Chain A
Amino acid sequence: MFETIKKLAGSFGVSGSEEQIREVIKNEIDGKVDEIKVDALGNLIAVKKGSGKKIMVAAHMDEIGVMATYIDEKGFIRFSNVGWVWQYFALGQRVMFKNGTAGAVFYEQKLKEIKDLKLSNMYIDIGAKSREETEKKVKIGDTACFVGDTVLAGNMVMSKALDDRGGCAVLVKTIQEMPDTDNEIYFVFTVQEELGLRGAKTSAFGIMPDIAIAIDVTDTGDTPECELMEVKCGGGPAIKIKDRSFIAHPEVRRLIENSAKEIGIPYQFEIMEQGGTDAGAIHVTGGGVPSGVISIPCRYVHSPVEMADITDIENCVKLLRQCLKGY
């Protein structure tokens, strides 16, 4: 599991630039499904054919990052966020453009109060001495991801982009040991989730499944002086009750809960006050798709040091397999 996560999380795939991660995933699942396609927005759709129910399983392959918007005469790059980037997380971090160009994120020193820190008074330094030199490596509109190696810390994996390469890993592992079922399963690695659940919406429209399950990360309430939340790392997969994007469909929620009971893994319920997932877009597609979410409890979401428990992720695979068989 760790190796798979490392491979996926280490790949480049800022929202809107998912080409590289898409290839990596494609290679992982090649030959394991009946059909693989890429749609107009770039969603990767892997189909296991069957004559039973149509189930869509979604994990987004995009990650947050930054986009170059201006290059000054000394070669410094001004940037904008791609997805939700907190300026304080970005400060002092290293970013990497798709072509491998590394950059340091820092802020205008004249800034007196750190609370006035905004992305617009920060910049990226790629070590170039002039606009021309920078332009050879980076052009306006290019995106960069935050750098955060994938390492083990106890039973936890620490990395950038566990949101949602953790979910992608769950899908990849499920595909590699495909559950024995007659259901027709659409594994969708979606694009542009961080920009507003876009890929999930358009891919669901094309598939029109009977039900959908999204796999994504959720916040936790198990760190010092944090916001109240019942979800804990190591407490098992979290079954979503609601978030900002939707209320989980009771039928799918029950399917997930019953599946967890059947295989005897720990699980927990999740109410997430901020943020949404692909399921929010999928469930209002067409005449409605009952949807639910299996969440990976994850600390420090949208930072380069996201942390999640490996056993939780492994249990997500078991749980998903059971759901696909049991529906």
Chain B
Amino acid sequence: MLLKNLTQINGVSGNEEKVREFIKKEIENVADEIKVDKVGNLIAYKKGTASKFKLLLSAHMDEVGFIVTGHSEDGLIKFRPVGGIDQRVLPGKRVVVGDKGLKGVIGCKPIHLQEKDERDKNIKIKSMYIDIGCDKRDEAEKLAGLGEYIAFDSKFTELGSDCIKAKALDDRVGCAIIMELLKQRYEFDLYASFTVQEEIGLRGSEVVGYQINPDIAIVIEGTTCSDVPGIKEHEYSTELGKGPVITVMDRTAYADKDVVNFIYDTARKYKIDVQFKKTTTGGNDAGKIQRSRCGVKVASISVPCRYIHSPSSVMSRKDYEGCIKLMEAVLKELENNTDYTLKILNGGNCNV
């Protein structure tokens, strides 16, 4: 399965090469042009049969992880997070270190040895370390030098009848969906960008927006899902199994209302369950794309993922499939309603 293959590859922000190579190979036969830009974004182009406007679909390749920042005398590795990671989930987890793929574990002081006041506190990343089995600094330095990337070690597994557990569902799920959509040819010019460094500040998308300058951009994401015990229903950002998510506004972007309405109407027409994101926190690549050049009409469609940014994210297969169906329908409707789409775009003239 595509998603399984994608989530098993490691691609911490800044080190997306393996993900890029995988995607590149998979889409080589369906894209008209493929390029890797100066910061490492993979951009595919598929010419339209009528080419009346440019649509960009974007998903990020990178995942959260860590980077080696030091070594102790007794061969342990000091590290810092790359991207937003909840330090509570780290103690006792398995990781893969460096390009050589060395197995390691995140260690910390066992509960028996913790002082009373330590027991009540979360362990800070600064006092954690990674053990790859080395006994001396030299050996650790040689095997996992400064600046080597570290990823979570977590298998792709089926959970229950409908769910999937894996690392990096944010945003390999988006990559997988766009790869599916690329198989078709459309009336409009289609650009697909698989971006780098989203997790450390939407870096890749900033230059993608500038380079492509699309008329409409849709970002496909794995998004937070907080329908878990202890959270009130109105604070659920999204709910698992209730279908793909439409975001109206988050911290970084305000989706174009016409585009959002178009997507929502399409979902109803095709009888696809969708939900609106109920929180306005968080952000994604749409934020940078919206603000590139003279401005771009954007929207985000997401698949809910529980325990995002941890080694064990959980996603519903139904939501994933719903998201593909929705996007297929949206692209088809965009073709069927070119006049309407062009009307949406009437203000998009760059040169005032």
- Tell me if chains A and B make direct contact, with any CB pair below 8 A: yes
| CB atoms of A39 and B234 under 8 A apart | no
Tier of interface size on chain B: 20 to 34
Interface residue? B6 (CB, 8 A): no
Contact of A120 with B by CB under 8 A = yes
Q: Which residues of B contact A78 (CB under 8 A)?
A: 234, 278
Does any Cβ of B come within 8 Å of A111's Cβ? no
Q: Shortest Cβ distance from B224 into chain A, in angstroms? A: 14
* Interfacial chain A residues near B345, Cβ < 8 Å: 40
Complex alpha-carbon distance, A87 and B69, angstroms: 41
Contact B296 A69 (CB under 8 A): no
Instruction: Kindly state whether residue A178 has any CB partner on chain B within 8 Å.
Output: no
CB-CB nearest in chain B for A15: B254
Q: Is the CB of B352 within 8 A of A45?
A: yes
- Say what secondary structure dominates the interface of chain A: mixed
Chain A residues within 8 Å of chain B by Cβ, number? 34
Which single residue of chain A is at the shortest CB-CB distance from B236?
A70
Interface residues of B in 253-303 (CB under 8 A from A): 254, 257, 260, 276, 278-280, 290-297
B279 pairs with A40, CB closer than 8 A: no
- Whether A67 pairs with B352 at a CB distance below 8 angstroms is no
> Is the beta-carbon distance between B248 and A202 smaller than 8 angstroms?
no
Interface check A1, CB cutoff 8 A: no
Contact between B234 and A72 (Cβ–Cβ < 8 Å)? yes
Main secondary structure of the interface of B (DSSP, over half): loop
**Given A198-B290, A205-B293, are A37 and B234 also a contact pair (CB < 8 Å)?**
no
How distant is the Cα of A53 from the Cα of B345 in the complex, in angstroms? 30
Task: Using known A-B contacts A82-B249, A140-B248, A141-B260, determine if residue A202 contacts B294 with beta carbons closer than 8 Å.
Answer: yes
Q: A141 near B347 (CB under 8 angstroms)? A: no
Inter-subunit contact B248/A141 (CB<8 Å) = yes
Residues of B within 8 A of A42 (CB): 347
Interface residues of A in 98-129 (CB under 8 A from B): 120
> Can you list 11 A-B contacts (CB < 8 A)?
A16-B254, A38-B347, A39-B349, A69-B278, A72-B233, A80-B279, A82-B249, A141-B249, A198-B290, A202-B291, A205-B293
Cα distance, A207 to B350, chains bound together (Å) = 9
B169-180 vs A: 1/0 string, CB under 8 Å?
A: 000000000000
Contacts A16-B254, A141-B276 given; does A39 touch B293 at CB 8 Å: no
Min distance, Cβ B320 to any Cβ of chain A, angstroms: 23
**From residue A219, how far is it (CB to closest CB) to chain B in Å?**
24
Contact A40 B248 (CB under 8 A): no
| Mask: chain B, 155-184; 1 = CB below 8 Å from A; 0 = not | 000000000000000000000000000000
